Amino acid sequence: MKKRIIVEPTLCTGCEMCTHACSVIKTGAPDPLFARIHVVRDEARNICIPVVCHHCEPAPCVEACPAGAFKRVARLDIWVIDEDKCIHCGECVRACPFGAIQFLPDGDVTKCDLCGGVPRCVECCQDRVQSGNQHVQDIKASALRFDNIVESASLKRRMQLYKEGGGIK
């Protein structure tokens, strides 16, 4: 079963611990500019949205790459950038519908590789008490989870039904 990073923007505080953890793992320094995840602040909705690769299938970034610089990691069922083949043209950056592929300050192109199956951003995302929801009170959850995508979709649907129904009857 495919596991992916699942984002719940309503639980994100914008602390950016995820970006710091990612950059430390990838570069050895806590510099969010080198992270494979970034946090976008949506002022209109007053939320912060962690942006991370969805590992789409089919993947627009892979299809757009003229150099064939993506390779499949079968164990995780994801695409990663082969830095030796990447020509830094930016076609994958433009093709990503989520803005998850980006140029680093040093000119390299990067995206999330799930840290080999143990995403550090998820590990450091602190549990928050959900607030502003009249039906679900005092449930602790993180803005980032590493979960099976089928189970996650099912859980999200169950929570939606729970909220619409006014709780457990």
Q: List pLDDT tens digits, range 52-86.
A: 999 998 999 999 999 999 999 999 999 999 999 99
Query: Which of 140, 139, 114, 137 has the alpha carbon at shortest distance from 36?
Result: 114
Strands (E), the chain: 3-7, 38-42, 47-51, 70-73, 78-81, 102-103, 109-110, 128-129, 140-141, 144-148
The set of residues, in sequence order, having a beta carbon less than 8 Å from that of 24 and lying 6+ positions away, is 30, 120
What pLDDT does 57 receive?
A: 87
The whole-model pTM stands at 0.79
Nearest-angstrom CA–CA distance, 83 and 109: 8
CA-to-CA dists, residue 2 to 56, 81, 95, 133, 152, angstroms: 11, 19, 23, 30, 11
Q: How far apart are CA 25 and CA 20, in angstroms?
A: 9
pLDDT digits (tens, 9 = 90+) for 98-139: 999 999 999 999 999 999 999 999 999 987 655 555 544 445
3-132+141-149 CATH? 3.30.70.20
